[in-house]
Amino acid sequence: MKRIIASFIMIIFITSLFSACESKKKFTDPDNPVTLTIWHVYGSQTMSPFNVEINKFNSTVGKEKGIIVNVVSVTSSSAIDKALSDSANDEPGAEKLPDLFTAYPRVAELVGRERLLSWNDYFSKEELSKYTNKFILEGYFGDELLMLPIAKSSEVFYLNKTLFDEFSKETSCSVNDIKTFDGLFKTSNVYYDWSGGKNFTQINDFYHYSYIGMQTQGENFVKDGKLNLENKAFEKIWNPLAKCAIYGGICLDDGYAAARWKTGEIISNIGSTADVLYQPDSVIYPDNTTVKIKSISMPYPLFDKDTPASVHRGTGLFAVKSDDERKNYAAYVFAKWITEEENNISFVTQAGYLPVKDDAFNLLFKTKDSIENENYRNLYDTIDIMFGDYELYALPLYERASDTQKSYEENVRLVLKSAHSQYKNRVASGEDKESVLNELTKASLSEIKRISEK
């Protein structure tokens, strides 16, 4: 009888052991995968290298561990800011926040820090020590690492060498002239005249231009959470820009530079290293005539030869904290995977970005000559120069930084566009070019200060 009782106890014990194992949810389970939705900015409308990497993750580590990263949206950084803000505030028509998203640090405030996963709860100190220090510091909000760097970029100057050479042949302008902002603005105006009214260049971020321009003079563009425009330093960088834009050398329309390259509306632009992804290989004219072009990238133009500087930028990876611990853990697994040396280099070299770990960084520059695409090889040569000689500044974080940046961009375009329009009209009516230009430049400075104060 004892044996029977013992047997029953054993059966009950084994059964309860099995049920205990069953009830304890595993973090990852290939038979019961956890799906993470992601909105990201790497690719926009054209190809998406990040999607390629995500597919790679899903078919390897994701499949093995039961993690599915599902790309729901590939968009621009400004669009993602608005979408995230709408979602976080439950705006009508807004979507549910994704599990993962890539965005600039400014978004943490829009979404709410308390809703975001702190990566340092999952990554060990040793793991985090492998990331490039200045990149990872950007993601800290107090003690919490809310934004994990996965790819970083800087700003460079892109030139349509084919069309520039045509222009250069007939004018005295050369590539050397456009290494500084002064030279760039002068060349832009020459091009405007030479081309019969076409813009030479587009500056994608006037906010970055202003920030770096003032940093090189030892002045802060942002003070106490507000734009600091009432000073000589700002005047010094504004006037040449305004003069050139009012004259017509700079494109003041919103939108992608790549589309304007494609139509030959502009032949250069200042933009992110990641813009290399969108560089067209030909210009299409309205009659469908297509001209193959060669593009080059050059270091960010200098404000001052002694203080070469640019921004280091790039969105990072955020995860929305979930009550389902499996999702949080899965987010960590994916974040770790995408920043592993091999995967990170594979991703960034397809997209014109920089890796985020010191080892990967060194390896990339040692092997950059093996990059097949000439535009990309040229870009990494340029980045190599800049990382050697330039001071790279991260953008300051402050309350409503996102809105401030966005409205500054709009205001600069608005003020200068209006001034350019006035300039054209007044010159057409016979007024003296130089005096009108000076007057409008002065007026535009006052106007930008006035609007920005609001």
Interacting residues toward another protein by CB under 8 A: 1, 3-4, 7-8, 11, 30-31, 33, 35, 39, 43-48, 51, 54-55, 58-59, 62, 68-76, 79, 83, 92-95, 254-256, 258-260, 262-263, 278, 284, 286-290
Minimum distance, C-beta of residue 183 to another protein, in the bound complex (Å): 29
SS (H, E, C) the chain: CHHHHHHHHHHHHHHHHHHHHHHCCCCCCCCCCEEEEEEECCCCCCCCHHHHHHHHHHHCHHHHHCEEEEEEEECCHHHHHHHHHHHHCCCCCCCCCCCEEEECCCHHHHHCHHHECCHHHCCCHHHHHCECHHHHHCCEECCEECCEECCEEEEEEEEEHHHHHHHHHHCCCCHHHHHEHHHHHHHHHHHHHHHCCCCCEEECCHHHHHHHHHHCCCCCCEECCEECCCCHHHHHHHHHHHHHHHHCCEECCCCCHHHHHHHCCCCEEEEEHHHHHHCCCEEECCCCCEEECCEEEEECCECCCCCCEEEEECCEEEEECCCCHHHHHHHHHHHHHHCCHHHHHHHHHHHCCECCEHHHHHHHHHCHHHCCCHHHHHHHHHHHHHHHHCEEECCCCCCCHHHHHHHHHHHHHHHHHHHHHHHHHHHHCCCCHHHHHHHHHHHHHHHHHHHHHC
* Least distance (Å) between residue 160 CB and another protein: 16
Q: Give the shortest CB-256-to-another protein separation in angstroms.
A: 6
Nearest approach in angstroms of CB 343 to another protein is: 17
Q: Least distance (Å) from another protein to the CB of residue 282?
A: 10
Q: How far is the CB of 83 from another protein (least distance, A)?
A: 6
